[in-house]
Amino acid sequence: MPLLEAEAPRDPILLFDRWFREATQAGALQPEAMTLATTGEEGPSARMVLFKGILDGTFLFYSNYASRKGRDLSHDRRAALVFYWAVTRHQVRVYGPVRKVGHAASLAYFAGRPRGAQLSALASPQSKVIRSREVLERRVLELAEKYPDEVPLPKGWGGYALQPTWIEFWENREDRLHDRLRYVRRSGDAWRIERLAP
């Protein structure tokens, strides 16, 4: 179906929610997987991370603050996200500044993760060189024994929130005459909708 300005909601988050739901219902493989692109002292870098929801209009994800992405975001707070759902032929690009979420929010999210994921986060010095997988697996076993009940939030681990400056919606159309609508933040919750050539 065509992506038309007259039919698009004034709030891009509503359109994002609709497309995310459609991709999920259509059976997209890991619809929450998104590309996160950052720039740091080592240059640009991109990787797949998991989208963890929208809070007050910001896109949430979690990571080790000492990882490459964490170091990049300490150097340059701007980042870009890309969602692509082949099953619905939709792509969403998001750009804006990123901030860390509060400790309480990070703690609450971490407490809700599966125990195995908690232990992995605590064991892994993300993005650092390690001798072997066995070293990592042994560390997980040690931590499982040390923390039989509650796994503590790793120091230097938590959430990030990206506040969109703009969000672009791309819909695949025949003959590569795709639809592209970009929402540009004007002020507060006001957005301007622009059509981009495919």
Q: Are 162 and 97 in contact (CB under 8 A)?
A: yes
- Is 143 within 8 Å of 123 (Cβ atoms)? yes
Contact in structure between 83 and 105 (CB atoms under 8 Å): no
- Report which of 146, 68, 149, 158 is spatially closest to residue 104, judged by C-alpha positions: 158
Could you give the CA distance from residue 184 to residue 194 in angstroms, rounded to a whole number?
A: 8
To the query of whether residue 192 is one of the catalytic residues in this protein, the response is no
Q: Give φ, ψ of 97 to 5 degrees.
A: -75, 150
Write down the catalytic residue from 10, 131, 133, 176.
176
Distance, in Å, from the CA atom of 153 to the CA atom of 112, rounded to the nearest integer, reads 11
- Tell me the C-alpha distance between 127 and 106, whole Å: 20
Question: For residues 54 and 13, is the Cβ–Cβ distance under 8 A?
Answer: yes
Region of 53 (left: φ > 0; alpha: ψ -120 to 50; beta: rest) is left
Query: Active-site residue numbers?
Result: 176
